[in-house]
Amino acid sequence: MDTTQPDLINASASESSVPNASNDAGSSSNSDAPAMSKSERIRRYIQAHPEARNTEIVAALEEHGIKYQDVGNVRSQEKRKAAKKSAPSKRRRQVAAVPEPAATPNAPSAPAPTTGAVSMETLQAGAEFVKQAGGIDQAEAILALIRQIQSV
């Protein structure tokens, strides 16, 4: 955990000393090494230490002026970004799933016309029909076609 922390501190210490030197020397070195923002420091620390808690991050980076609130804000922004990336795929799946239930209301209407008990011969004939059709779904499709033809 401490192996990458000195890199962050050293990188920021050299960056913080560069602007002071650039004020004395000129603006050429300032454009070469822009100062790292607090948010960027926090993001880099989180990448290096994904299991670190907010208080640990604040303790490690407090010399750079990072507060507990800063860490919380960065983490919440990262969660929002992750949610936005995953949200469109969920919406597409829901839209694709909507037409499927529309086909099922036709299935419950098929058993409704039958009233009373069904004989064993009728059951066997129905089972044979389903077997010849290639399955229940195909048999239902055939029955739906027959209903359409009869209604015309």
The CA-to-CA distance between both ends of the chain, in Å, stands at: 76
Integer-rounded Cα Rg, in Å, for the chain is: 34
Triad 140, 151, 115: Cα angle to 5° = 60
Backbone angles phi, psi at 110, to 5 degrees: -70, -50
pLDDT at 99: 47
Note if the pTM is more than 0.75: no
Q: What is the pLDDT along the chain (152 residues), one digit of tens a residue?
A: 444 454 554 454 444 433 343 344 344 444 455 688 999 999 999 999 989 999 999 999 989 999 999 999 999 998 888 887 776 654 555 554 444 444 444 444 445 455 668 889 998 999 999 999 999 999 999 999 999 999 88
Residue type, 94: Q
Residue type, 101: P
For 60, residues 6+ apart whose C-beta sits below 8 A from its C-beta are 5, 8, 45, 52
pLDDT at 85: 77
Query: What 3-state DSSP class applies to 15?
Result: helix
pLDDT digits (tens, 9 = 90+) for 84-106: 777 665 455 555 444 444 444 44
3-state SS record for 38-84: HHHHHHHHHHHCCCCCHHHHHHHHHHHCCCHHHHHHHHHHHHHHHHH
